[in-house]
Amino acid sequence: MPLDRPATTPHPGTGTPTGRARKGRWRFWGTAYALLILLTGTNLPAPLYHGYETRFGFSPLVVTLVFAAYVVVLIPSLLVAGPLSDALGRRVVLLPAAALAALGSLVFALATDTGWLLVARVLQGLALGAASGPLTAALAELEPTGDRRKAALVSTVASASGLGLGPVLAGLLAQYAPAPYVMPFALEIALLIPAAAVIAALPAAPARGRWRPRRPEIPTAMRGVFATSGATSFLAFAVTGLFLTLMPTYVTTLSGSTNLFLGGAAVALMLACSALAQLAGYGRPARSLELTGLPLLAAGLALLALAGTLSSLALLLAATVIGGTGQGLAFLGGLTAINQSAPADRHAGVISTFYVIIYLGVGLPVIGVGFLATAAGLLPAVQSFAVAGALLCVAVAAVLARSRHRVTPATP
């Protein structure tokens, strides 16, 4: 039986089927808003890293380490929070996550050296790790018609939109508003207030037994699907991690402009294309989405490498659009497959483990790029990453095409 269903005793004004449906839709879209805002806050620093690098005097490697610091705590947070929310309900986990997200933004706003940035990223990692699995599972449970495919679409679009909104919002405020390193985070704290209100209004969940921490574990019946979808999403988010950390600097290097909004807009364009691709791909089989997304992702990476060689902004624009489209389709296909295969009583736990793979993709490859950028320069580092990533996308697509694993819908 799904968690977090409305109480059987109707409240005044919501006892009719229409009232219950309206309340169900409000909860569903409010949960999507909460996911959007949490991801927006996590990615606000993207266009500001180059400025922090200048203010605090650190290298591109430190930029990537600051960006990836949240992965260190995010992964254990995911593994604890998913099973905990399955056992005790979503609110128990999500309200503290919203508080940690606000605290992380506050620390960013007050930052005076690199240590503050690291602490802020750790707080954001704890918040996002605690919230990602439960919010995604809650969307699947709260979708008014029980359509898990639609819930997966809303989840991935909200995720991509938050990833893109953060950089463009921060770049816009940092370039044109006062207090450029404070204003974006103050706005995030304000936006978290209604998100927390939505979370507090989620219905209480029935007790499901004692919670205990456990290592990542995937039900045997869905391990094949998890392996292929996990590899696909790892690659999709490795590209996302590159765009969020080093792409603003890459754009300014190729363009010669120091406009912070331009760097943030490049990141936002990639993720806007991701969101639009997901909308266009809605309703298609998960395997088809992955097999379409991976070649597009490879093509975008190849163009990204070529753009650096030719110093071409036009090629960089094409790489951003094609790569973003591929990222969106690959991620939607992966999450749809996982959503459809995960058992109801372990849904958040499985989703949280899936997000471990995603955030390893976000954090680990970009640290390697940071090492290479410090040693050899930014352009060669990005080009090397792009070529390696394109080859891996082709290899995973070939494995996926030959695989016989099928998405088996979970038993309600």
Whole-number average pLDDT of the chain? 81
The answer for residues whose C-beta is within 8 angstroms of residue 22's C-beta and 6 or more apart is 14
Q: Please indicate, yes or no, if residue 4 is contained in any of the structural domains.
A: no
Query: Which of 206-220, 269-283, 343-357 is most confident?
Result: 269-283
Confidence of residue 4 (pLDDT cuts 50, 70, 90): very low
For range 194-210, the mean pLDDT: 76
Q: Please indicate, yes or no, if residue 106 is contained in any of the structural domains.
A: yes
Q: How many CB atoms lie within 10 A of CB 208?
A: 14
User: Which is more confident, 316 or 342?
Assistant: 316
The residue with tokens 């999709």 is 236
Q: Please indicate, yes or no, if residue 309 is contained in any of the structural domains.
A: yes
Q: How many CB atoms lie within 10 A of CB 159?
A: 30
C-alpha span between 250 and 206 (Å, rounded): 50
- When computed from its CA atoms, the radius of gyration of the chain, rounded to whole angstroms, is 20
- pLDDT tens profile 374-398: 888 878 888 898 999 999 999 999 9
Domain that holds residue 306: 26-202+220-402
Give the HSE-up count for residue 146: Cα atoms under 13 Å, Cβ half-sphere. Answer: 9
**pLDDT value of position 9:** 41
* Statement: residue 294 has pLDDT above 90: yes
Q: Please indicate, yes or no, if residue 207 is contained in any of the structural domains.
A: no
Note the pTM of the prediction, 2 decimals: 0.70
Q: What is the CATH number for 333?
A: 1.20.1250.20
Q: Please indicate, yes or no, if residue 20 is contained in any of the structural domains.
A: no
For range 77-95, the mean pLDDT: 78
Lowest mean pLDDT among 202-211, 359-368, 377-386, 396-405: 202-211
Q: Which amino acid is at 80?
A: V
C-alpha span between 263 and 247 (Å, rounded): 7
**pLDDT value of position 14:** 46
**Closest alpha carbon to 327 in 292, 364, 356, 359:** 292
User: Which is more confident, 14 or 186?
Assistant: 186
Q: Please indicate, yes or no, if residue 2 is contained in any of the structural domains.
A: no
Q: What total of structural domains would you count in the chain?
A: 1
For range 108-127, the mean pLDDT: 93
Q: Please indicate, yes or no, if residue 412 is contained in any of the structural domains.
A: no
User: Which is more confident, 378 or 23?
Assistant: 378
Q: Please indicate, yes or no, if residue 209 is contained in any of the structural domains.
A: no
Confidence of residue 18 (pLDDT cuts 50, 70, 90): low
- pLDDT tens profile 146-167: 787 788 788 878 887 887 788 8
